[in-house]
Amino acid sequence: MNTADFIYQGTKKSIEKASFTCQTPSNIALVKYWGKSDPQIPKNASISFTLNHCHTKTTIAFTKVDKSTTITFDLYFEGKKKEDFKPKISKFFERIASYCPYLYEYEMVIHSENSFPHSSGIASSASGMSAIAMCIMNLEKELTPDAEIDYIHKKASFLARLGSGSASRSIEGPLVVWGKHPNIPESSDLYGVKFPFKTHPIFNEYQDTVLLVDKGEKQVSSTVGHNLMHDHPFATQRFKQANENLEKLSTILQNGNIKDFIQLVESEALTLHAMMLTSNPYFILMKPNTLEIINAIWKYREETDSNVCFTLDAGANVHVLYPKEEKQKVEKFLKEKMLKYCQKNHYICDNAGFGAQTF
């Protein structure tokens, strides 16, 4: 499908009032998206586990008004009016307006809340933007009842991507690919698709314990980081490597070679941060405790037969990944040895899940 396929074709149906509540999760990338061109087109394909417990729940109440030249909305976050979040959402609405022109005919009241603490350093843009996109697509589904569910999901992912690239991977689960890749049928730069092959059972309900090393605001936003890839000396090689890694990971996810999985996922995380270390200007998002945790995980793996590994987002927190059957042992290790590296001993237990829910 291409961009034109997502332009709303309109019906005669008119809806005066409607309200939809959708919940969408965050996701954790295994092969990372880092570098993009306009409009939100990734420089390489990426793949992530959709999470389960870390989610945003959003309700949008739509009320029909006279057609306006701007999209009007009020925004509440965890019950309180949030003027400072509005510019980002306004920009998102501007970007999606040509695909959803009916938005000019509605006033929206948006209520949003996260399941994870607001200042936990967990990326809320993926879950936040995808939840808004899903609410809008619920309205579109009412306006065009014949639309197929597959189209609704694709367009929700397409819209979410225009808000935040990684949000395109939060509509479905448990594994989503975003970015065109020759070996992933149907993959696209415009939206995420479910990983199309049968995965080995070792990856069922894969566990992700997020160790909250630093709960503060990031010093460098993802947007700035992505932009620094434009003149990055290693950019071309990195984009090529990411696409190769996705191909390797596709094989691993099917054959269940967990040792290869660990090696590839950890290398991806460190490469992401290596791009930050070698950009101009350079920056470091890891903290001393990020490295303490990484070293402790390596030591634990050396001393036991564990298949635990780590990955990182654009921040200091560590996502600890492991098969479900190791849950008891790994949780014991994390509780006994890793909590001292977490801010206020805080961590979040999550696992791979299935994406958006509408209530």
Positions touching ligand DP6 (CB under 6 A) are 29, 32-34, 40, 46, 123, 125, 164-166, 222-223, 226, 272, 313-314
Helices assigned H by DSSP within 82-124: 86-96
Q: Minimum distance from CB of 273 to ligand DP6 (Å)?
A: 9
Minimum distance between the CB of residue 29 and ligand DP6, rounded to whole angstroms?
Answer: 3
- Least gap, CB of 71 to ligand DP6 (angstroms): 20
Whether the Cβ atoms of residue 279 and residue 220 lie closer than 8 Å to each other: no
Cα–Cα distance between 132 and 123 in angstroms, integer?
15
Two tokens, residue 12 = 């005669």
Q: How far is the CB of 17 from ligand DP6 (least distance, A)?
A: 32
With respect to ligand DP6, which residue has the nearer C-beta, 11 or 223? 223
CB of 285 to ligand DP6, least distance (A): 9
H or E stretch at 158: helix 149-163
Query: Burial, 38: exposed, middle or buried (Cβ in 10 Å; 0-12, 13-18, 19+)?
Result: exposed
The smaller minimum CB distance to ligand DP6, of residues 248 and 301, is found at 248
Identify which of residues 269 and 330 has a Cβ nearer to ligand DP6 in the complex: 269
255: CB partners within 8 A, 6+ apart: 200
Radius of gyration of the chain (CA): 20
**For the chain, where are the E strands, in sequence order?**
17-31, 36-37, 41-42, 46-64, 72-77, 80-81, 106-114, 175-178, 192-194, 207-211, 309-312, 318-322, 347-351, 357-358
Nearer to ligand DP6, 166 or 343 (CB): 166
Whole-number minimum distance, CB 272 to ligand DP6, in Å? 6
> Rounded to the nearest 5 degrees, what angle is found at the Cα of 35, between the Cα atoms of 355 and 33?
30
Paired tokens of 173: 């689960």
| Helix ranges restricted to H, 256-313 | 258-277, 288-303
Pairing relationship of beta strands 347-351 and 207-211 according to DSSP bridges: antiparallel
Place of tokens 């949780």: 331
Tell me whether residue 22 or residue 269 sits nearer to ligand DP6 (CB atom).
269
> Of the two residues 245 and 333, which places its CB atom closer to ligand DP6 in the complex?
245
In order, the DSSP letters of 17-58 are EEEEEEEEEEEEEEE----EETTTEESS-EEEEEEEEEEEEE
Residue 49 or 102: which CB sits closer to ligand DP6? 49
Residues 201, 48, 75: CA angle, nearest 5 degrees: 130
Question: Which residues are registered as beta bridge partners of 310?
Answer: 320
Q: How far is the CB of 152 from ligand DP6 (least distance, A)?
A: 22
* CB of 8 or CB of 85, closer to ligand DP6: 85
Q: Which is nearer to ligand DP6, 28 or 143 (CB)?
A: 28
Residue 334 CB, shortest distance to ligand DP6, in Å, is: 22
Q: How far apart are CB 284 and ligand DP6 at their closest, in Å? A: 14
